């Protein structure tokens, strides 16, 4: 049993707060039941269920802070974890950037919990594997995939009377389908809160079609091309760029949002007019907890509006230092798009490349957010609005900042999570000019 009710969670957290003799105490309690099934070579390889619950206690004596965690919750264990945190705090030097515990917050509930997802059974997971394996085998293809689901609760409380509790659910599915001769490879991913919106049987057809269609890939010369990036292909680049929106990094001179001569570039227009990004904890289909890791309340927040930088992320300490207000760090990222599908964007393209996904993305130069990575599992040449033939994978070197200045058209946003991004995103398929491919890869 690791999903506590609100009353059970509150009882544990109240005990912890009461046990602490420190100047202040903050405690978080999080529990989850996570199930998964993994398969490869058309056969199930592992499956399991992990239940866990973790209590973290942070206490402060003056500006000395200590933290301890535990996953036992009887009275003796609670006393032990509080004492350990207090012992560590007493040993710690003063933290000059110490921030006192937050005051009482008002957290409006966000729609993060779906009962259908919480009710997933081992049989359901086995069926997802079967729904991937059976059609793959029939098509002389080889499936390897991973389906994971979780129901979790999060609760927090502190000695200033703050308290929050909420449950959430999540489903993530990825499957790679390869031809038996390993000349073709396709992939599909789906991330949802509500499992009733997921259908493995139909999703797998995307991976199967891409595997079959990607055989006999031709080599194109590396260079600058117009690309249609499916949502999973651009999510990794955009989430990387968001690191640069930390106000302190920008003010300290180590972000692409640093201003020459000092300060940051808040308020400047740095992207194409079509680029609008915001965060909203209650957004339908992409809801997240109404508080951030510090317990600060999340709010709807414009980040980029019509290409202009609208906000940077301030930690509580940096907000105080810069005399501004810290609001909750975003838990999701929503990019405004249009109504067209990926294939609609293909139809309006004279010459270009369709990219299913990007892979092994790493920073090359944080100054310009130059990233490198590769295309994978379905890369196709487009001519006169049609997919003409599969092409060999490319290595690319591109900055999302440059990419978001070269936007031709945006399609209908889709939810992307887990594998492709550290937070939930709604990202449209994009048509981008002059995307930079620097070499060919022989990998299929």
Binding status of residue 374 toward other proteins by CB under 8 A:
yes
Binding status of residue 87 toward other proteins by CB under 8 A:
yes
Binding status of residue 433 toward other proteins by CB under 8 A:
no
Among the listed ranges 6-14, 61-69, 210-218, 227-235, the one in contact with other proteins (CB under 8 A) is 61-69
Among the listed ranges 66-74, 301-309, 331-339, 343-351, the one in contact with other proteins (CB under 8 A) is 66-74
Identified binder of other proteins from the candidate list 359, 380, 423, 437, rule CB under 8 A: 359
Question: What is the per-residue binding string for other proteins in 143-162, x denoting contact by CB under 8 A?
Answer: -xxx-x--------------
Binding status of residue 75 toward other proteins by CB under 8 A:
no
The HSE-up count of residue 122 (CA atoms within 13 Å, CB side) is 6
**Contact call for residues 407 and 430 (beta carbons, < 8 A):** yes
In angstroms, the CA 257 to CA 301 distance is 18
Binding status of residue 438 toward other proteins by CB under 8 A:
yes
Binding status of residue 117 toward other proteins by CB under 8 A:
no
Binding status of residue 127 toward other proteins by CB under 8 A:
no
In angstroms, the CA 293 to CA 189 distance is 27
| Nearest approach, Cβ of residue 364 and other proteins (Å) | 5
By beta-carbon proximity to other proteins, the closer residue of 250 and 424 is 250
Binding status of residue 47 toward other proteins by CB under 8 A:
yes
Binding status of residue 116 toward other proteins by CB under 8 A:
no
Among the listed ranges 9-17, 224-232, 332-340, 390-398, the one in contact with other proteins (CB under 8 A) is 390-398
**264-283: contacts with other proteins (CB under 8 A):** 270
By beta-carbon proximity to other proteins, the closer residue of 40 and 282 is 40
**Contact call for residues 231 and 427 (beta carbons, < 8 A):** yes
Among the listed ranges 104-112, 302-310, 359-367, 427-435, the one in contact with other proteins (CB under 8 A) is 359-367
| Nearest approach, Cβ of residue 172 and other proteins (Å) | 10
Binding status of residue 93 toward other proteins by CB under 8 A:
yes
By beta-carbon proximity to other proteins, the closer residue of 282 and 440 is 440
Binding status of residue 99 toward other proteins by CB under 8 A:
yes
**Contact call for residues 257 and 309 (beta carbons, < 8 A):** yes
Binding status of residue 134 toward other proteins by CB under 8 A:
no
| Nearest approach, Cβ of residue 10 and other proteins (Å) | 19
Binding status of residue 373 toward other proteins by CB under 8 A:
yes
3-class SS letters over the chain: CCCCCHHHHHHHHHHHHHHCCCCEEEEEEEEEEEEEEEEECCEEEEEEEEEEEEEEEEEEECCEEEEEEECCCCHHHHHHHHHHHHHHHHHCCCCCCCCCCCCCCCCCCCCCCCHHHHCCCHHHHHHHHHHHHHHHHHCCEEEEEEEEEEEEEEEEEECCCCEEEEEEEEEEEEEEEEECCCCCEEEEEEEECCHHHCCHHHHHHHHHHHHHHCCCCECCCCEEEEEEECHHHHHHHHHHHHHHHEHHHHHHCCCCCECCCCCECCCCECCCCCCCEEECCCCCCCCCCCECCCCCECCCEEEEECCEECCCECCHHHHHHCCCCCCCCCCEEEECCCCCCHHHHHHCCCEEEEEEEEEEEEEEECCCCEEEEEEEEEEEEEECCEEEEEECCEEEEECHHHHCCCEEEECCCEEECCCCCCCEEEECCEEEEEEEEEEECCCC
**399-418: contacts with other proteins (CB under 8 A):** 399, 401-402, 405
**167-186: contacts with other proteins (CB under 8 A):** 174-176, 178, 182
Identified binder of other proteins from the candidate list 62, 253, 267, 284, rule CB under 8 A: 253
**212-241: contacts with other proteins (CB under 8 A):** none
Identified binder of other proteins from the candidate list 61, 73, 124, 317, rule CB under 8 A: 317
By beta-carbon proximity to other proteins, the closer residue of 145 and 330 is 145
């Amino acid at each position: 049993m690791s999903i506590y009710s609100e009353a059970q969670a509150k009882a544990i957290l109240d005990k912890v707060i009461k046990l602490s003799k420190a100047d202040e105490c903050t405690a978080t309690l999080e529990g989850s039941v996570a199930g998964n099934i993994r398969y490869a070579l058309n056969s199930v390889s592992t499956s399991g269920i992990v239940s866990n619950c973790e209590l973290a206690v942070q206490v402060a004596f003056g500006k000395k802070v200590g933290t301890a965690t535990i996953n036992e919750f009887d009275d003796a264990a609670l006393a032990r974890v509080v004492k350990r945190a207090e012992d560590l705090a007493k040993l710690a030097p003063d933290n000059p950037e110490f921030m006192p515990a937050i005051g009482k917050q008002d957290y409006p509930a966000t729609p993060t919990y779906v009962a259908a997802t919480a009710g997933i059974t081992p049989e359901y997971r086995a069926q997802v594997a079967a729904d991937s394996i059976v059609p793959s085998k029939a098509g002389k293809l080889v499936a390897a995939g991973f389906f994971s689901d979780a129901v979790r609760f999060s609760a927090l409380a502190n000695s200033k009377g703050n308290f929050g509790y909420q449950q959430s659910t999540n489903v993530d599915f990825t499957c790679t389908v390869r031809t038996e001769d390993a000349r073709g490879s396709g992939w599909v991913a789906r991330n949802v809160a509500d499992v009733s919106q997921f259908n493995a049987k139909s999703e797998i057809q995307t991976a199967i079609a891409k595997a079959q269609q990607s055989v006999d890939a031709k080599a194109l010369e590396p260079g600058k091309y117009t690309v249609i990036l499916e949502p999973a292909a651009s999510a990794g680049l955009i989430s990387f760029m968001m690191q640069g929106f930390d106000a302190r990094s920008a003010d300290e001179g180590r972000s692409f949002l640093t201003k020459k001569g000092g300060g940051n570039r808040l308020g400047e227009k740095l992207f194409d007019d079509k680029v609008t990004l915001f965060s909203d904890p209650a957004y339908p289909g992409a809801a997240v907890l109404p508080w951030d890791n510090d317990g600060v309340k999340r709010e709807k927040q414009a980040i980029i509006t019509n290409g202009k930088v609208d906000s940077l992320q301030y930690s509580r300490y940096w907000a105080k230092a810069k005399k501004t207000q810290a609001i909750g760090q975003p838990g999701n990222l929503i990019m405004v798009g249009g109504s067209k599908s990926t294939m609609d964007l293909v139809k309006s393209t004279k010459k270009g490349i369709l990219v299913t996904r990007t892979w092994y993305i790493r920073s090359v130069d944080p100054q310009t957010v130059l990233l490198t990575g590769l295309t994978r599992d379905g890369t196709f040449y487009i001519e006169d609005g049609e997919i003409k033939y599969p092409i060999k994978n490319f290595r690319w070197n591109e900055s999302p900042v440059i990419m978001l200045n070269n936007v031709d058209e945006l399609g209908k946003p889709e939810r992307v999570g887990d594998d492709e991004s550290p937070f939930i995103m709604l990202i449209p398929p994009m048509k981008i000019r002059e995307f930079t491919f620097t070499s060919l890869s022989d990998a299929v």
